[in-house]
Structure 1
């Protein structure tokens, strides 16, 4: 059962209904002066779907005062709820979200940690960057280093160092992270040109994919260079990107 805006049962009353489907509909409908009050309760609902819907609504609200309610779900027993909380905190932003994200960065679930890293990269700032740098220094597997590198690049931190990292996957991830935060400027054109000559084909292939975002004035030059690459995959990727010009 779903409530509608024309229902005689008010949305606020429906959030206390014994049927979780009705509560879910109420969470999706709530607005106005009781928005935060109702959703702050809903993030602790016994039904996972209701909790997730409440977190999603709060995360998309753009309200600084919603951070506390979302942060309270960092200890939710369900990993995908915690992952959603990490994502929502990144959308809300602000220094108030950092403590909860630091906790989620130590979560047992890898997806939760990935979401926390990405959100820390989105928010940026000294505390977020320090935490990501500490994790990069202690990471023992390539996957973790890749995720941290993307987050740091997204925050615009340590980019030059990451682009020279010994792990080629980290170098490639740095390009991906930069591309997600690209502002259309040519700020990273020199770095892109350097990595177009990287010894690893996977890195050069990533350059071909992101060059239009990171070096908009040099797209044709870089792609034509990569179209003559010794690696067939790089050549094919460059040719495909050139055809989109």
Structure 2
């Protein structure tokens, strides 16, 4: 993600641990994104904001060639430890051009729960479109605007930067956006919207954490888009 808002040091360690098997990542957003991707065998995929490498590992396991990048050296370390030599992993600030990638060099791009951390979303979206081949897909997930509104209150149309406390003292800093802003930004970048989903927890979470399962199936937490170049 953005190097400014990435999880560094101990924050990166905590984030990687929660992403591995936490309700929001492992049982809600990640299954939804994998479902949106469909068959990825033989595809070359960029994981933009790879975190601890858990999404990349799933795509590699399904037969894709993956390049994974993140703005945090700590999370790049976790991703390399998880992926080994099965994927190319490097540190890169997503608020800067994707200068490591050529035009039309990927079949798909995944950006999971990262967009709201970026300070130059328009440039990032333009870069994603550049590195995608014609007809390639872009999977994008972010915090649900209604969830943010419920938590922070005030105007739904407030798009200020906020801080959200998480477990173990970790704080997430991100910019709120409306659903209108999200969809308008990706359309203005030249993408075609194929599908919009509001991920709910998968059934497997019910036995592990029934209270969180109910919460994540009754209230929106994330929104995910499948886009086409």
Give the greater-gyration-radius structure (CA): 1
* TM-score, normalisation: structure 2: 0.29
Larger helix proportion of the pair? 1
Larger strand proportion of the pair? 2
* TM-score, normalisation: structure 1: 0.28
If asked which structure has higher relative contact order (CA below 8 Å, sep 6+), I would say: 2
